[in-house]
């Protein structure tokens, strides 16, 4: 069984898959408390679903792209067989994780979107830097199944992220996406810093917050 907060069908609003129709499986519970988190409603609320019930719900939406998010999806051990079952069923599976749990045991067919938490998130001490090393090794072996996302709230966060990328030469191997913590920083400001520094990263807006009201659930 898995504790699920919501399953919904929407336009993928984030990551390099932004714009595609996608089914989202939002698992309940999170072991972090990011200062800007827009999904606090998933910290506790949810209902127990069997893997079969989840697969049935996902099939209802007739889409090939499925994202497992949360809360923190890697907290529930049964997420691992769920990811494998979704891959076996032929879906393109995305995992959105907070970047504080090692992703080594994730089915290699799953595309991982790994957050790196900045100082302003107040959670950066929990970052699992082994995930950076694993993904660089994965990319060097010719496999591209990971991207990193950094949500920025301030210029200090931008400088911190830039230093981190340079320290690992991360963007040379793995796609890196910068996003604004919604309402905290204007995307134009991030765009101007990226352009001024010639930083090889991708700027992302959370599409769903422009398509629908920013605080709407289930989109």
Ligand X SMILES: C[S@@+](CC[C@H](N)C(=O)[O-])C[C@H]1O[C@@H](n2cnc3c(N)ncnc32)[C@H](O)[C@@H]1O
Ligand Y SMILES: Nc1nc2[nH]cc(C(=O)O)c2c(=O)[nH]1
Binding residues: 11-13, 26, 30, 34, 36-39, 69, 71
CB of 214 to ligand X, least distance (A): 9
Q: What residues contact 49, with CB distance under 8 A and at least 6 apart? A: 1, 2, 3, 4, 57
**At which residue do the structure tokens 């393109």 appear?**
92
> Strands (DSSP E) along 53-128, which ranges?
65-69, 92-97, 111-116
- Among 103, 120, 188, 104, residue whose Cα is nearest residue 154: 120
- Where do the H-state alpha helices sit in 9-154? 51-60, 79-88, 130-140
Which of ligand Y, ligand SF4, ligand X, none does residue 182 bind (CB under 5 to 8 Å by kind)? ligand X
The residues in 150-169 that bind ligand X, with binding defined as CB under 6 A, are 151
Taking the C-alpha atoms of residue 97 and residue 85, their distance in angstroms, rounded to an integer, is 19
Residues in touch with ligand Y (CB under 6 A)? 10-14, 24, 39, 69, 96, 208, 219
Q: Does the protein bind ligand X through residue 147 (CB under 6 A)?
A: no
CB of 50 to ligand X, least distance (A): 22
Going by the DSSP 8-state scheme, the letter that residue 12 receives in this structure is -
Which of ligand X, ligand SF4, ligand Y, none does residue 79 bind (CB under 5 to 8 Å by kind)? none
Of these, 98, 146, 150, 160, which contacts ligand SF4 (CB under 6 A)? 98
Of these, 24, 49, 54, 70, which contacts ligand X (CB under 6 A)? 70
């Amino acid at each position: 069984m898995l504790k699920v907060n919501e399953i919904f069908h929407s336009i993928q609003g984030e990551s390099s898959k932004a714009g595609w129709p996608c089914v989202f499986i939002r698992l309940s519970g999170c072991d972090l408390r990011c200062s800007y988190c827009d999904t606090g409603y998933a910290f506790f609320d949810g209902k127990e679903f069997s893997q079969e019930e989840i697969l049935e719900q996902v099939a209802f939406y007739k889409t090939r792209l499925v994202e497992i998010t949360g809360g923190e999806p890697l907290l529930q051990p049964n997420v691992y067989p769920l990811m494998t079952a979704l891959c076996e069923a032929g879906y393109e599976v995305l995992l959105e994780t907070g970047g504080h749990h090692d992703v080594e045991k994730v089915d290699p067919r799953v595309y991982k979107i790994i957050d790196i938490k900045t100082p302003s998130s107040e959670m950066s001490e929990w970052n699992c830097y082994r995930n950076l090393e694993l993904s660089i090794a994965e990319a060097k072996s010719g496999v591209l199944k990971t991207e990193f996302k950094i949500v920025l709230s301030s210029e200090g966060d931008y400088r911190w992220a830039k230093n981190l990328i340079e320290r690992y030469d991360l963007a040379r191997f793995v796609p890196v996406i910068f996003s604004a913590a919604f309402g905290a920083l204007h995307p134009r400001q991030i765009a101007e810093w990226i352009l001024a520094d010639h930083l090889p990263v991708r700027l992302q807006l959370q599409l769903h917050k422009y398509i629908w009201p920013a605080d709407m659930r289930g989109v």
